[in-house]
Structure 1
Amino acid sequence: MASEFVVTPPTAVSIPVAGQRARFPVRRVYCVGRNYEDHAKEMGFTGREPPFFFLKPADALVVVGEGETGTMPYPTLTKNLHHEIELVACIGTGGKNIQAADAMKHIYGYAVGLDMTRRDLQGEMKKQGRPWEIGKAFDQSAPIGPIVPAAAAGDIVNADISLTVNGTDRQHSNLAKLIWNMAETIEQMSTAWELQPGDLIFTGTPEGVAAVVQGDTLVGTVAGLPTLTVKIV
């Protein structure tokens, strides 16, 4: 007998895979905080602190196809919306207590993502010692481009990562500068959660985060992956 629901089930979130008709279904969206040293410093911290994580809902993704310009509405309640360009690792094989030496085998592919942040709301919650999901996990807070399978992504661990706003450079670094590299991140994360196929990991942003306003066009790149272009409307 087919299942019946008291309300219509939400549509499953999925992301296109470059060069394929099949799509990548999304289960959870994990994010790594302060994972580049210079970004940690600009946020008032220093050193190689233990990694910490937060989550965004899967339906916060703004999925942008290759060659397209996505749109993100300027969110409510904030006057200080910040961009954070990130490499996104897409989990293809799940597991718990994954060792760093084995971790890269669990990655299906990679995409370019933006962890958009209501910085004023996040800062206020920090001051009050309260959870800061309101600053991070709001609607349409996570634009993402197409996924490239790992075998086709090139030397991703040494790839350049950058963001421009209206053609002006804002963020630029290299993934080799991650404080906790992807393998170490997966090792740490999989002790707290059992990772599953369909999970996304936003791996952290480099220095240069700053505010954007309505009308701005953001162009994010990671070498070897499709460019992510988003306009704030």
Structure 2
Amino acid sequence: MAAIALTIAGSDSGGGAGIQADLKAMSALGVYGASVITAVTAQNTRAVTAVHPVPLDVIADQIAAVLSDLDVAAVKIGMLATPEIIDTVAKGLEKYRGPIVLDPVMVAKSGDSLLASDAIEALRARLVPRATVLTPNLPEAVALLGEAETSDVHAQGSALRAMGAQAVLMKGGHAQGATCTDLLVSGDGVMEFTAPRLPTRNTHGTGCTLSSAIAAGLARGMPLPDAVRAAHTYLQGAIAAADQLRVGHGHGPVHHFHGIWA
């Protein structure tokens, strides 16, 4: 039977991030993807022009429908626009005991905000303690911690883990330098995952893709470090092949099917 992963996130009409990116990554990695849509966005590679939250009862009904029938082996949580949506998702997952990958999506690649400012505390209180792994980029880590940006990424990861997450993957895509380094901070210590920083502007959906790829690995029974390593390798291949797609005129998507399409 195919491993099943569930993504709970917003829909990207441009197809490069959100639910669309999650399902593409899960499919490319041999995992059956189910979905709960929390918001519908009007966006493309250039900008987000509208965000329409899905009604709370519809979000709750989607979660209940999936979990009552499908054997979900891992959950990835992405865009949750409001405190009320965060609370609804937390309640919907109260009885779920599998691994949860929490990607605290706050800002789109275009720079447009995707999370209301009053939702950050709700995210800290309701979902961070449920996370098997939290996957913030550097600006998201700063926002969650409520402090000024610092170069001490190890300390940030440890502070976020102290909020209740079992592990924190500090993503290095927003840092500078020729090498991109992600840090996995867990009870077993710190692991580094490095790769050359690739010269492309087509990186739309990288965070969504990485977190859903980690969820796919966990759904297949991988230990967390192995799931992160496999997802990191997959994402680097998707970024390296991104320029082949030529989608849109702004920040184009990564190539989720780089290992499959001729």
Q: TM-score, normalised by structure 2?
A: 0.25
Choose between structure 1 and 2 for higher RCO, CA contacts under 8 A separated by at least 6 residues: 1
| Structure richer in helix, relative to its length | 2
